[in-house]
Structure 1
Amino acid sequence: MTQAVPPPDPHSNADVLLDEGVELLSSGRYEEAVEVLLTALDERPDHAPTLNNLGVALRGAGRRDEALETFRDAVAAAPDHGPSATNLAKTLLSARRLEEALEAAERAVELRPEDGGSLAALGVILVELGRPTAAVPHLRRAFDLTSSKAEIRCSLAKALDRLGEGEEALEQARIAFREAPHSLACAMLVHELEAKDREGRRNRRPPETATRGEPDAPAPEQTWRAIDGKDADRFGEHPPGRADDAAHRHVAAGVAAVLAGGRAPRALDLGCGTGLCGALLRPHVDRLEGVDLSGEMLVQARAAGHYDVLHHADLMAFLERERGSWDLIAAADALAHLGDLGPVVRAVRARMAPKGLFAFAVERQEAPGFRPTASGRFAHGADHVEACARGLFSTEIRDVVLRGEADRHAPGFLCLLRPAG
């Protein structure tokens, strides 16, 4: 008697491909994972887990717009698939589409109320939307449910700071930095909260005790020491001076974090002015050049002695005429005077070494594009920075606090761009 042969499982090959794609994902081989998962998707076009993993692979490969559409497809295919809702929320957050991200995160938490990643995403989004009271319970609960605690601590610290709980905020930020000593986000947050704490303590002192020689006030000859992962308490030490030096300190701290103890062989300080940023960059570079349009400022920069070469020129004209390349190009405050950043980003890319870094700070706005401010400078949206960098650089954009007119705090972006490809 002949035994009947069972029909082949039509999904078996798709399952094998899905497993292979997930394995590639786990090893960080994102582009390979994309190809495998696309093949799996050909066999099951509406399979939410495959779509979700494809979105993660695309996001890991730096193809965020494609990832966003893939996560949307996954949610449409299976509205109750929690991981897809969570990843959609996280990707919308990275694109600064906060209201859409909130809707997706709320749905993710509704589907998986005990999932730490979903709760953390919702908490982070609420912080970014300026709703710290609503964010704190989600972040505290997420903290209990996940092993990846540093990012959650940072968001919790931001929320607590906005609620006036400065001491706990600083404690959480310091712990986060000890847990993730190479995290730029943690480093910058510790730096900002420590500076705010020192400022608050000075303001609470009686005037007669707030003298220049007190222990908290760094002597003028002290140079601010940038990020040192072994000692979080060293953050925030910097030369006293102009109210707008926050941008220079943020850029220098970002550079130090990226270099992680290494040195850039050749660096350029765009719009170097009197050399404020040069003092902060010098410990991290072998050769430092500066360029500025103001001859008077260059006299002061030359006297400071931090630069190997100084160029008296308009920064765009200088970048267009030069034929060399730099491993680091920094523009601490110069780009705040420009509206459309596209031309300078393209010019910098043409002068950037293949594994170089372009670091700059700008005033932040939540709206798309850019706009002039009352001071005659410009505020920029994250979307504008990313659009200018697309195809040229990979982007890392961090929220920072700058100083504006009358020494007021102003929201800003620290932008770290590295050549794509």
Structure 2
Amino acid sequence: MSGPRGMRILTMTNIHLPDVGVTMALVASLQASLPDFGRILDRFGHPAPALRKLGLMHWENGRFDTAARSFEAALSLAPEEPDLWRDLASVYSASDRDEQALTAIRTSLDLDRNSAPSWQALASIADRLDAAETAEEAYRCTIALDPKAPAAHLGLGLLLFRKKHYQEALAAVRASVEFDPVNGLAHFALGHLSFIVCDFGACARAFDEAARLTLELDAPTRQKRARAITFQAMIEGRVREALLAYDAIAGEDREDLDIIARDAFSVLSASGHLEAAAEIGRMRLAEQPDDPVRRYLLDAVLGRSLEAAPTAYIETYFDLFAPQFDSKLTEALQYNAPCQMAKLVAGHRTGFRHMLDLGCGTGLAAAELQPLGENLTGLDLSAGMLAEAAKRGPYTELVKAEAGAYLAATQSRFDLIFAADSLIYFGDLKPLMRAAAGALVPGGLFALSIERAEGTGYTLQPSGRFAHSLDHLEDAAHDFVILETQESTIRLEAGRPVPGLYVVMRRR
């Protein structure tokens, strides 16, 4: 049988109900020993609902095994009752009898696929078992049948939160709060999601409501709340006042004020609050006027016209960033370009003799490239990044050099140049593309990623990364034949997807 949205319900046979004779003997025994059960039986007029009522009483008092036996007995007399199967599933789940719980709830849904409570029960059981696809589908089926089911919206939101689908998760949790405004957990989740998408006012309000209703906020959440209040004040034009007030807001949970200012600059620039970010950037640059990272990122926020990121910025920034690079990029920002690009390359060719990982960073692409060829050279400007790449092992050579200069000095050496997240630090791509063509053997492949810009040309973004239009890329690539392009989300920025393009081209 198929449920809503075409989901298949499969029934297993790992539940054994008692014989009817055994159940009727139990009913007689209960009548004799429990006067209350006799009154329940008289009221319902049939043993099955009376046994269900008894099971519910045991369940409410935490006697899960006894409740399960009562439901099993009731089902031996009324095996076509979907609500009884759902009750049995719930007590099985509560007593860690997971496979039996799945059997029972699927049986309930075989009998009635239009029961929102049964879909909700399946979602809860599957979620508990980390069966994310089953849980998500079941939550969505619940909502399709009962659009105002707050538990389903919250469960779906938390599941999507774990999958880092933040915008959709936020919408689901907001719906849960709308339909059940006194659920402290929903407000707690709303606070964390609002912070991720940089809605700092909503974040602080949600945390305050969670604390008022049910939850005592832990220290990391209190720190996040203090940041949210501070960042919101900055957005409203009170940058200096917000920094002065921060210690009082955070209290014993306060962080170093320089870290707060640094992170505020990063978060506000990423979320488009450029005026506040620029003021913070000027303050930070005044403290350390020779800092190349602070100077370049302020230039980016101010929209100044630059041809490329300065080498001093790249070296300093990525040397500092190297130890946290992998976890930040792959976990928090959902970066997966090396894997996706390697698949594209493999669709055109394998068996490369000499590959260049251009801007190799910590070597995230090494494992993806190793099956494609014999020799792999890693190139990066940051010594810190190269030290991390060396720990990964597959490189036959690691070189510290600036990309354009290295390519220009290398002639017809490589049959694959792989540039994942490297061209974002160059504005005009023409010089780099000419140098790349010279470093490739005739017919060699160049695989690259770019962040997409609207219109034509290229632009320096507040993040300090350049975005390029497809027109600019095609104009710069006159020494190449473009074999394939693939649109993709390159990373998340302030909880939102950054559109990008993966490209494979061949040297003419």
TM over 0.5: no
Q: TM-score, normalised by structure 2?
A: 0.37
Q: Between Structure 1 and Structure 2, which shows a larger proportion of helix residues?
A: 2
Q: TM-score, normalised by structure 1?
A: 0.44
